[in-house]
C-alpha cells in the first residue's frame, strides 16, 4: 500500500514539473504574439515597414537598399 502511495506521489510530481514548463512556454509565446510592431513609412517611396526591418540612416527609415541610395 505504501509503495502505491509513493508511486502516485512520484507520478504527480513528474506531471507537475512537465505541466509547469509547458505552461511557461505557452505564456511566453502569448506574450510574443501580443507585441505590437511600430510601423514607419519609407522616406523615399512611402512603403510602410516595421521599424525592426527598416534601414535607419540619418534618422530616416528606408525599406530597402535601393531606396537608401
Q: Looking at the predicted structure, is the pLDDT value of residue 15 above 90? A: no
**What is the three-class DSSP state of 25?**
helix
Which residue in this structure is represented by grid cell 502569448?
Answer: 30
- Residue 24 C-alpha from the chain's centroid: 13
Q: What is the pTM of this model?
A: 0.48
Beta strand ranges found along the chain (DSSP E): 39-41, 48-50, 55-57, 60-62
Q: Could you state, in order of their start, the residue ranges of all structural domains in the chain?
A: 1-35, 37-69
List all residues 6 or more positions away from 32 whose beta carbon is below 8 Å from its beta carbon.
none
CATH of 37-69 among 2.60.120, 3.40.50, 3.30.60, 3.30.300: 3.30.60
pLDDT at position 53: 87
Which residue in this structure is represented by grid cell 512520484?
Answer: 10
- Per-residue confidence at 30, pLDDT binned at 50, 70, 90? low
Amino acid at each position: 500500500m505504501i509503495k502505491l502511495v509513493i508511486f502516485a506521489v512520484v507520478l504527480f510530481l513528474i506531471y507537475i514539473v512537465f505541466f509547469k514548463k509547458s505552461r511557461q512556454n505557452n505564456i511566453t509565446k502569448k506574450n510574443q504574439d501580443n507585441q505590437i510592431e511600430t510601423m514607419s513609412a519609407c522616406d523615399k517611396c512611402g512603403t510602410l515597414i516595421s521599424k525592426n526591418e527598416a534601414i535607419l540612416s540619418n534618422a530616416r527609415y528606408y525599406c530597402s537598399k535601393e531606396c537608401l541610395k
